[in-house]
Amino acid sequence: MSVGPDRLRDKVVLLTGATGGIGVEIVRRLADEGAHVVVTDLDESACHDLLRTLARPERHAAHALDVSSEEQWEAVVAAVEGQFGAVHALVNNAAIGSVATAEDETRAHWDRVIGIGQTGTWLGMKHSGPLIERSGGGSIVNMCSILGTVGGLGNSVAYAAAKGAVRTMTKNAALHWAKAGVRVNSLHPGFIATPPLLERWEGTERHREMLAGTPMGRLGRGEEIAAAVAFLAGDDSTFVTGSEIYADGGWTAA
């Protein structure tokens, strides 16, 4: 897979949920393409550990961030503006999953899934969007899912609720910022073979269902999602806003 080393040269990209499977691949791709990556997650030490794996860690930054906390969003965005003077792209990647059905989900876990995946995405747009506008415009990439569009396997109700909201919030925000130079798009992965997914499900009936529902006959790879993020974050997508980009091996086409 080819990488354009200059496509994101000197762009400041803020990424949430950076130390998970897909997040790590996004960090690497953005850094390879020349971005200054602001790596955020709950565990700041894990963020610094990730930066140390990059070729030039001093070009990047790491911050602890609970995306469900408005106060933490305010602090991180202010710190990033103080260090870099701008943000050119936000990638709202942070989320937690759930496999519970509408009957089995608990209220406590529902609230946490919604707080991170839905409310956290809104807070990211609220606090980063104006800075992106002041920085001369740019891009917001909201990580969604096929489960924001279709029913999947009939479970994961809280996750589906959060991602369905992200899908429509994206379109709403795209219209809000359409003339302000801030593009807002959602990226919808299918089932991606990250280590946590494989460790939990490989060889099970659920894993077989994931494969059976994917016309390409395989799970996606994290670097394939990262490539789509890099496209949306950079200037190759300057006429793309309010769109849903699917990287799902054909799941939603079947």
Would you say 248 and 189 are in contact if contact means Cβ atoms under 8 Å apart?
yes
Q: How far apart are CA 34 and CA 100, in angstroms?
A: 40
Whether residue 246 lies in the annotated active site: no
The gap from C-alpha 26 to its chain's centroid, in whole angstroms, comes to 9
Rounding to the nearest 10 degrees, give the CA dihedral for residues 151, 153, 158, 161: -10
Q: Which residue in 159, 177, 191, 251 is the catalytic one?
A: 159
Query: DSSP state, 140?
Result: E
Neighbours of 103 (CB within 10 A): 7
Q: How far apart are CA 161 and CA 114, in angstroms?
A: 8
Beta-carbon-side half-sphere exposure of residue 114 (alpha carbons within 13 Å): 11
Q: How far apart are CA 87 and CA 52, in angstroms?
A: 22
Q: What is the CA radius of gyration of the chain?
A: 17
Q: How far apart are CA 17 and CA 93, in angstroms?
A: 5
Query: DSSP state, 42?
Result: S
Nearest alpha-carbon partner for 166 in 113, 231, 119, 221: 119
Mind telling me the catalytic residues?
159
